[in-house]
Amino acid sequence: AVLMGAILLLAGFAGVTLLLLAQSHRAARTRLSRIKAFSDHVVENMPIGLVATDGRQRVAVFNQVAESVLQTRAAIVIGRPAQHVLPAALWAPVAAADASHAAILEKEVDCTLAGGRVIPLEIGAGRLMDENDGYLGSILLFKDLSEIRTLRNEIARNQLESGGNRGWLN
């Protein structure tokens, strides 16, 4: 009877422990799901283009701004080698950051799209590393500078015109 009581007591403890572990696992999975949904929402709605590759340099993330600027759909490029789907002006800084092991490489480039249209971009490229310095992939952030460049040109033209008029009035 004592042995049977001990076995039942152990079984009860094991059952309670398993129940607590199952609840903890379910809560952790729910939190992880919320965090993933939040990060996916942030990536999709950020105001700059984002392309991330995995450790084999295949496109893993391609947000809406990247689709709009590069005039291609994420469904077409996800999973494909980045060097084959990204314009050379975008892939070169990613490859350079990888080769030099640079944390971040920033520059402005003129990017030629498939249709021959050239757009100015401000880009930042870098390597994605885990906590043990293991290579996870690359990240490329970019912003279309077309409007900014147009405004700069208008300001310069206005300054030239007003500078010329000032000389004429004086």
pLDDT confidence of residue 103:
67
Neighbours of 45 (CB within 10 A): 10
Across residues 90-100, what is the average pLDDT? 82
How far is the C-alpha of 45 from the C-alpha of 43, rounded, in Å? 6
Asked whether the predicted pLDDT for residue 2 surpasses 90, the reply is no
Give pLDDT tens digits for 115-130. Answer: 888 999 999 998 888 8
Across residues 37-62, what is the average pLDDT? 90
pLDDT confidence of residue 164:
54
Of 162 and 91, more confident: 91
How far is the C-alpha of 105 from the C-alpha of 141, rounded, in Å? 10
Length of the chain: 170
Asked whether the predicted pLDDT for residue 42 surpasses 80, the reply is yes
Give pLDDT tens digits for 6-15. Answer: 999 999 999 9
Q: 126: closest CA among 89, 153, 97, 91?
A: 97
Antiparallel, parallel or unpaired: β 59-62 and 104-112: unpaired
Per-residue tokens: 2: 């004592």
Asked whether the predicted pLDDT for residue 25 surpasses 70, the reply is yes
List C-alpha distances in Å: 37 to 12, 54, 116.
Answer: 37, 20, 36
Give pLDDT tens digits for 97-119. Answer: 777 776 677 889 999 888 888 99
Q: How confident is the model at residue 169 (pLDDT cuts 50, 70, 90)?
A: very low
How far is the C-alpha of 170 from the C-alpha of 160, rounded, in Å? 16
Q: How confident is the model at residue 150 (pLDDT cuts 50, 70, 90)?
A: confident
Give pLDDT tens digits for 151-160. Answer: 888 998 888 8
pTM (2 d.p.):
0.72
pLDDT confidence of residue 102:
66
